[in-house]
A and B are shown apart, each in its own frame.
With several copies, the nearest count.
Chain A
Amino acid sequence: MPTTYLEAIREGLWEEMERDPNVFLLGEDIGVYGGAFKVTAGFIEHFGERRVVDTPISEGAIVGAAIGASFLGLRPVAEMQFADFISCGFDQIVNFAAKCRYRWGAAVPMVIRAPSGGGIHGGPFHSQNPEMWFVRVPGLKVVAPATAYDAKGLIKSAVRDNDPVLFFEHKGLYRRIREELPGEEYTVPIGKAKVVREGRDLTIVAYGAMVWTALEAAEKLAEEGVQAEVVDLRTLLPLDRETVIESVRKTSKVLLVHEDTRTGGMAGELAASITESVFEYLDGPVVRVTAPDTPVPYSPPLEEAFLPNVEKVLEKARWLRRY
Chain B
Amino acid sequence: MSAAPVSTLPSTSASGEPAELAHKCLYYMTLMREVEDRIERKLYRQGKIVGGVYVGRGQEAIPVGTALLAEPDDVLLPSHRDMAVMFIRGMPLGRVFAQYMGRADGPTRGREGNMHMGDLKLNLVSIISALAATVPVAAGVALAMRYLGKPGVAFSYFGDGATSRGDWHEGVNFATVQKLPVLFICNNNQYAYSTPLSAQMACANVADRGPAYSMPAEIVDGNDVLAVHAATRRALEQVRAGGGPYLLECKTFRMTGHSAHDAAHYVPKELFEEWERMDPIARLRSKMLANGWADEAGLERVRAGILREIDEAVEWADRSPYPDPATLLDDVYEQS
A contact set with B: CB distance below 8 Å: 24, 28-29, 32-33, 36, 50-51, 53-61, 63-74, 76, 82, 84-85, 87-88, 91-92, 95-96, 99-107, 121-126, 138-139, 141, 161-163, 238, 292-295, 297-302, 304-306
The answer to whether B199 touches A56 (Cβ under 8 A) is: yes
Tally of A-B residue pairs with Cβ under 8 A? Answer: 258
Interface string of B240-273 (1 = CB under 8 A from A): 0000000000000000000000000010000000
Chain B contact-residue range equals: 35 or more
Q: Is B17 an interface residue, CB under 8 A from the partner?
A: no
Q: Is B325 an interface residue, CB under 8 A from the partner?
A: yes
Q: Is B108 an interface residue, CB under 8 A from the partner?
A: yes
B54 to chain A, nearest CB (A): 12
Distance, CA A73 to CA B162, complexed state (A): 28
Once A121-B113, A123-B116, A305-B328 are accepted as A-B contacts, the answer to whether A61 and B170 lie under 8 Å apart by CB is yes
Pairs A-B, 5 closest by C-beta atoms: A68-B140, A64-B136, A299-B110, A299-B102, A65-B140
Once A57-B131, A64-B136, A123-B51 are accepted as A-B contacts, the answer to whether A298 and B195 lie under 8 Å apart by CB is no
B contact set with A: CB distance below 8 Å: 50-52, 75, 102-103, 107-113, 116-120, 125-126, 128-131, 133-145, 147-148, 150, 154, 161-162, 164-167, 170-171, 173-174, 177-178, 192-195, 199-201, 266, 322-325, 327-329, 331-334
Distance, CA A92 to CA B164, complexed state (A): 16
B4 to chain A, nearest CB (A): 16
Distance, CA A216 to CA B169, complexed state (A): 48
The answer to whether B170 touches A64 (Cβ under 8 A) is: yes
Once A61-B167, A104-B108, A104-B112 are accepted as A-B contacts, the answer to whether A72 and B141 lie under 8 Å apart by CB is yes
**From A84, which residue of chain B is reached at the shortest CB distance?**
B129
Q: Across the interface, which residues of B come within 8 angstroms of A101, CB to CB? A: 331-334
B21 to chain A, nearest CB (A): 30
Once A28-B193, A50-B147, A297-B110 are accepted as A-B contacts, the answer to whether A106 and B322 lie under 8 Å apart by CB is no
Of A58, A64, A102, A162, which is within 8 A of B137 by CB?
A64
Once A92-B136, A294-B328, A305-B325 are accepted as A-B contacts, the answer to whether A56 and B200 lie under 8 Å apart by CB is yes
The answer to whether B133 touches A57 (Cβ under 8 A) is: no
A174 to chain B, nearest CB (A): 14
Q: Across the interface, which residues of A come within 8 angstroms of B135, CB to CB? A: 64
A215 to chain B, nearest CB (A): 25
Q: Across the interface, which residues of B come within 8 angstroms of A64, CB to CB? A: 133-137, 139-140, 167, 170-171
24 A-B residue pairings within 8 Å (CB atoms): A24-B147, A56-B170, A56-B173, A57-B162, A58-B164, A58-B165, A58-B166, A58-B173, A67-B140, A71-B120, A92-B133, A95-B130, A102-B331, A103-B126, A105-B120, A121-B51, A124-B116, A162-B334, A294-B329, A298-B112, A301-B322, A302-B323, A304-B325, A305-B328
Q: Across the interface, which residues of A come within 8 angstroms of B161, CB to CB? A: 56-57
The answer to whether B174 touches A56 (Cβ under 8 A) is: yes
Distance, CA A299 to CA B162, complexed state (A): 27
Distance, CA A299 to CA B116, complexed state (A): 13
**From B49, which residue of chain A is reached at the shortest CB distance?**
A121
Q: Across the interface, which residues of A come within 8 angstroms of B125, CB to CB? A: 68, 71, 106
The answer to whether A68 touches B325 (Cβ under 8 A) is: no
Other A-B pairs beyond A29-B195, A58-B164, 11, CB < 8 Å = A32-B266, A61-B174, A64-B133, A70-B144, A88-B166, A95-B133, A121-B51, A292-B328, A295-B332, A299-B113, A305-B328
The answer to whether A107 touches B165 (Cβ under 8 A) is: no
A220 to chain B, nearest CB (A): 22
Most chain A beta-carbon contacts within 10 A, residue among B140, B141, B148, B177? B140
